[in-house]
Structure 1
Amino acid sequence: MSLRINDFLSSFSIISAVTMVFFSIEFSEAEEKPYVDSARSQGTQIEEYLLEQQEELLSVDTKEKDILGQLERLEKDVTRKRREVRKLSNKIEKVSVEILAGQGRIRQLNQSSLAVRRTLTKRLVAFYKFGRPGYVRLLANSTSLQEFQKAIKYTKALMNQDKEILDMLARQMSQVENEVQILKKNVAALEALKKAKNESMALVEKSIEKKVLLLMKVHREKEFYAKAVEELRGATQALNHTVMYLEKEDRQESLPSGFAEMKGKIPLPLHGKILRGAQLVKSNPFMHRKGIYITGCAREEVRSVFPGRVDFSGWFKGYGQLMIINHGSHYFTVFAHLDETIKQKGEMVSGGEAVGLVGNPGWDAGPGVYFEIRKGREQLDPRAWLKIE
């Protein structure tokens, strides 16, 4: 409200000054021009004031671009931190599996140790239970003293072997227990690091929210939207140039054919709600393109709709993580605002093969993928090509 009042006062001041100069000039021509110098002076003041207003407008525009740049860097930072958290989660899962394997190994060693102990106990009982009579019986059953000594020696050797096995199992168990403890410490350290990364990511996301609010304050809503549309049109133009470049270096011999015959029969890259036009404008004022937005679950697989070759895979301003697939005969499909691209430039993909993961651009519509079908630079209506039930 204060911004509109200031604009009104500024406009009123300019109009008043111009009116005053006009009447001063008219009056001076009728009265032998006694106020020409004064009028010229006031005209100079108006020019200076207009210059000041232009400088202020330029300052606001520069500030807006600076905030947009900061937002882009923060969004990239959040994307990077999300990937780091996912990697840590994978490491934690892997180490947890190793811990379970170690614990299983400990159980096996315990069972082996228990079996050996039982065998050794039976032998000890058999050896000592009868005491001296046992030796007498063993001696009586022996044909010679030498045979008796061999029997005693054999029995002791068996017990010594059992004891060595027990000692070995104990050492192995101790080693595995130490390894499990180390793995548990590693998991704890990874969990702590993951927690720190999540907290850092939360702070960055809060910074993004503050920057967005600041951006809305910098410019009025209409001017902000117009600027966003202008930048995205620039991004679209750049994308058209990219498609043209890719089209020029298109190696037709390595590409499939028959995309045109699939009109109306092409499968959806993602099963979800399809948004377009006014629905997108409501969710995201920057989306003024001819493609469609298909909602889905975060990190759900996005699939190629037809065989082709990946001609672009990576970050693209205005489109986030972007993938362009060349299907031959100058037909391309575009997947934008992905959380992650699975395929790289130059890779051949088949129809239905996963090429990326659903991202979340932060719109009211939620996670999803932006999808276009192009023939050269011309954007086609995807709804006329897709098989929508």
Structure 2
Amino acid sequence: MRRAATGRRAPLVLLLALALVLAPAAQRAAAQTEEEQTRARLEQLQGQIKQLNRDLSSAKTRREQVLAELREAELALGRLQGEMRDTRAAIAGAERELNELEGRRTALEAQRQAQQARIASELETAWKMGRQEQLKVLLNQEDPHTVARVMAYYRYFFDARNTLIERFRDTLAELEQVRAGIERQRAALAARQAELKAQGEQLEAGRARRAQAAASLAEDIAAKGGQLAQLEKDRKELEQLLETIQRAVIDMQLPDNYQSFAAARGSMPWPVAGKPGNRFGRARNAGGMRWQGVNIPAEPGSTVRAIHHGRVVYADWFRGSGLLLIVDHGDGYMSLYAHNQSLLREVGEWVQAGTPVGTVGDSGGLERPALYFEIRHQGKPVDPAGWCRG
């Protein structure tokens, strides 16, 4: 009986022993599998991070390329606007010349009518006095001296009449020349108008391409999380530019009746009509940046005016600000006008309060036309609402 029981326990013991031997191996296999899975996940995650970094780097490179293209496009648009203003001025001059030619034609027409009436009167007189008088003289056989004298009179009369007719013809020729001149002016005016229309279409096409590029760029950078870093970079570069300008600016020569910038505080005009779309110092985005100026929405092409006497120290395209103009007012004060459609002043030019310095636009990738306006003292931004009236 004991031997049989022992025989029945032997397989059970063997199974238990085998289980004890195999348990650590199974645990080791499970641990090894988990480690391999973790390593695979880590490698996958590292690959995703590397790909994201490559995508972000590629997006930034593309952004630089698009900004360079955007700079050239907006500078070209600014130049085109200047050409359009010149064309409008030329058209106005052509209109004035056309009015002068019309006046000349009216005067010549009056002269022609007067000459025509005079010739008709002379012809009527000549017909009445004509050949009957000559025949009477010849048939009466008057004194030869008298005949010669009368014939000389008739020759003088007809010569004078012929001279009058020639003058009339000259007047008609001059009138025809004036008419031809008017037609040429009209043709030139029509060509100018067509050119202006083509320039306007080109401007709109360029604006559409620029807006599309800016929108695509903003979406791409925002999706990859690089917008904040780029804004910080733009702000630092702008501050470096201001520091460079402040170091380079020489003392300004001011008129005797000049009111200092500080003394004009609270009485200066806003650079463009409109209500600011933000408040100075408020948060600009979720990244913690704050507004250092005000954004004033306005119609594209609206005139941007200087707020105070000063000198233009910067007028060019600047990354993040588009077409940017900066005026130095002395005593460490500066005013900045950004995202212009075109710039109307050049570096070194003096301006007064109200002098046109640019036109409202959306250069630099702005979503909607607006003027971004700042006032700085010793390089630090101050609230424009405390300096401009209204």
TM-score (norm 1): 0.73
The within-5 A match list for 1:197-236 is: 197-215=199-217, 218-220=220-222, 223=225, 225-226=227-228, 229-236=231-238
Q: Shift in Å at residue 164 of structure 1?
A: 1.8
1:22-60 CA-to-partner distances (Å, cap 9, x unmatched) read xxxxx9x979x9899969985667655543442233223
Structure 2 alignment gaps of length 5 or more: 1-24
Q: Shift in Å at residue 159 of structure 1?
A: 1.1
CA distance change for structure 1 residues 281 and 73 in 2, over 3 Å: closer, same or farther? Answer: farther
Q: Counterpart of 2:128? A: 129
Q: Counterpart of 2:9? A: none
Q: Counterpart of 2:355? A: 354
Q: 1:88·1:190 contact (CA, 8 Å) conserved in 2?
A: yes
Partner Cα separation in structure 1 for residue 204 and residue 271 of structure 2: 31
**2:263 matched to 1:261?**
yes
Q: Counterpart of 1:86? A: 85
Q: 1:337·1:370 contact (CA, 8 Å) conserved in 2?
A: yes
The within-5 A match list for 1:37-52 is: 42=40, 47=46, 50-52=49-51
The within-5 A match list for 1:301-320 is: 301-320=303-322
One-letter identity of the residue aligned with 1:197: Q
Q: Counterpart of 1:103? A: 102
Partner Cα separation in structure 2 for residue 197 and residue 97 of structure 1: 23
Q: Counterpart of 1:13? A: none
Aligned-pair Cα RMSD in Å: 4.1
Q: Shift in Å at residue 109 of structure 1?
A: 1.9
Question: For 2:157, which of 155, 158, 167 is the aligned residue?
Answer: 155
Structure 1 alignment gaps of length 5 or more: 1-26
Q: Shift in Å at residue 134 of structure 1?
A: 5.0
Partner Cα separation in structure 1 for residue 67 and residue 51 of structure 2: 24
CA distance change for structure 1 residues 161 and 238 in 2, over 3 Å: closer, same or farther? Answer: farther
Q: Shift in Å at residue 130 of structure 1?
A: 4.5
Alignment length (residue pairs): 353
Partner Cα separation in structure 2 for residue 181 and residue 370 of structure 1: 47
One-letter identity of the residue aligned with 1:176: V
Partner Cα separation in structure 1 for residue 331 and residue 279 of structure 2: 28
Q: Counterpart of 2:8? A: none
Q: 1:301·1:354 contact (CA, 8 Å) conserved in 2?
A: no
CA distance change for structure 1 residues 299 and 242 in 2, over 3 Å: closer, same or farther? Answer: farther
Partner Cα separation in structure 2 for residue 147 and residue 37 of structure 1: 141
1:209-251 CA-to-partner distances (Å, cap 9, x unmatched) read 43345335534458364255234324432333234334xx321
Structure with the greater alpha carbon radius of gyration: 2
Q: Shift in Å at residue 128 of structure 1?
A: 0.7
The within-5 A match list for 1:141-152 is: 144-152=146-154
Q: 1:64·1:215 contact (CA, 8 Å) conserved in 2?
A: yes
Q: Counterpart of 1:182? A: 184
Q: Shift in Å at residue 120 of structure 1?
A: 1.1
Q: Shift in Å at residue 124 of structure 1?
A: 0.9
Of 147-156 and 376-385, the range deviating more from structure 2:
147-156
One-letter identity of the residue aligned with 1:126: T
One-letter identity of the residue aligned with 1:177: R
One-letter identity of the residue aligned with 2:93: K
Question: For 1:387, which of 376, 386, 389 is the aligned residue?
Answer: 389
One-letter identity of the residue aligned with 1:112: Q
**Percent identity over paired residues:** 21
